[in-house]
Structure 1
């Protein structure tokens, strides 16, 4: 079996990677501010329970406005980070297909649909990133199949953390929508902080994956430009 040698042109991926990592960092910073708002709202609600006379209606109205505004900004930053990640993902998938003749487990349409279609969104995105990582690995030989190659532990860590963050955030949202008493709102706000913390970790792991795959693909692109196959080993 011979080392993989790309036959199709590859595109620069460092620009999309930089954009994706930057937007993930911005989203994390916005999440930090949102967590501060959550803790402030939780504290206010607890004051409303223990000492109702110390809370004015103006404070409660302000809390509603700030909390809603925080959520809107947080959603905007999250969607921007998602868009940046998908932009990089499509470019990385193109390069992975140029690097490896072996078929990926999922067609290109699942690069977006895989995140929103119920049930399969629990594992399709991870498999897509797995295949891109494996196909991008310099020195890999054909014949094993992308789906049967060793799975990178970094991708496992990212995906499990992201799933936990998604689950906790959904629970927090349900608590918020169902809550009517100050104690319910305080509980939802503190639960949301936990979800944000998990998203921070997932974002950091996603950035590490982006940088690793980008480095492998840029090394492969450089090797192709120099007229040789990317055959140096990767740990």
Structure 2
């Protein structure tokens, strides 16, 4: 069931917020990758000759690594808030465009990201339903598929990195975990670029629909005026 485009709310503002959050998260990720690579090389020196690295350098490296991780968590939460604000807006518009075809209720826009196992597919299906409601039938969603594949790969890599950091008890393990996190950050950057593409594409579609008035219904034939003579039948 498709409804009037006049009920759509503007999306551009929240899209800018979401894109800015993703971009800031990416910049902090790049800085973190640089710090990790530097500290990993410092750990390599410690492995070869522990006395070649001063205690001040070790403490500085530890503080930089810790500070970059705290910054990443904070900026990630800001970026996630922006993305969710955009997601809530475009989903509300998608429901206005089509009441049918949405597999999950509004609460799943948050719950889907934290539900064990379910986070592998629920958020992707929510975005698929938004795309389906906002675009013509059979519109290609290759960008959405690529974004989700990159996001899952990056997130699984990040979880593996955190696990290694916690269980590493020697310097070789720490250096490996730091470099693995750099790989995960690279994957996150790919996912971030694709996420920005998804945001821009869905936003553009809904903004176009919002600015396009619905087609006027075909004019109906006026009823005959009471007392007016009927037209003569053709012989």
Which category describes the TM-score, using the shorter chain as reference length? 0.7 to 0.9
Q: Which residue of 1 aligns with 2:198?
A: 209
* 1:42-61 → structure 2 map (5 Å cutoff): 42-61=40-59
Aligned mates of 2:143, 2:102 — CA distance in 1? 19
Q: Which residue of 2 aligns with 1:193?
A: 182
Q: Which residue of 1 aligns with 2:154?
A: 165
Deviations 1:153-186 (A, max 9, x none): 1111111110110111111111111112111110
Select 1:221's aligned residue among 201, 210, 220.
Answer: 210
Equivalent residues, number: 216
Aligned mates of 1:17, 1:150 — CA distance in 2? 21
Shift of residue 84, structure 1, vs aligned partner: 0.4
Structure 2 unaligned runs (5+)?
217-235
Shift of residue 4, structure 1, vs aligned partner: 4.1
Contact 1:20 1:84 in 2 (8 A): yes
Q: Which residue of 1 aligns with 2:114?
A: 116
Q: Could you state the TM-score of these two structures normalised by the residue count of structure 2?
A: 0.88
User: 1:15 aligned to 2:13?
Assistant: yes
Contact 1:172 1:191 in 2 (8 A): yes
Q: Could you state the TM-score of these two structures normalised by the residue count of structure 1?
A: 0.88
Contact 1:6 1:100 in 2 (8 A): no
Select 2:89's aligned residue among 83, 88, 91.
Answer: 91
Deviations 1:16-63 (A, max 9, x none): 001101110111001000000110111011010112121112211111
Misfit runs of 4+, over 4 Å: none
Q: Which residue of 1 aligns with 2:231?
A: none
Q: Which residue of 1 aligns with 2:129?
A: 131
Pick closer, same or farther for the CA change 1:71–1:38 going to 2, 3 Å. same
Aligned mates of 1:112, 1:161 — CA distance in 2? 20
Aligned mates of 1:8, 1:121 — CA distance in 2? 33
Aligned mates of 1:220, 1:7 — CA distance in 2? 6
Q: Which deviates the most, 190-199 or 97-106?
A: 97-106
Aligned mates of 2:197, 2:5 — CA distance in 1? 28
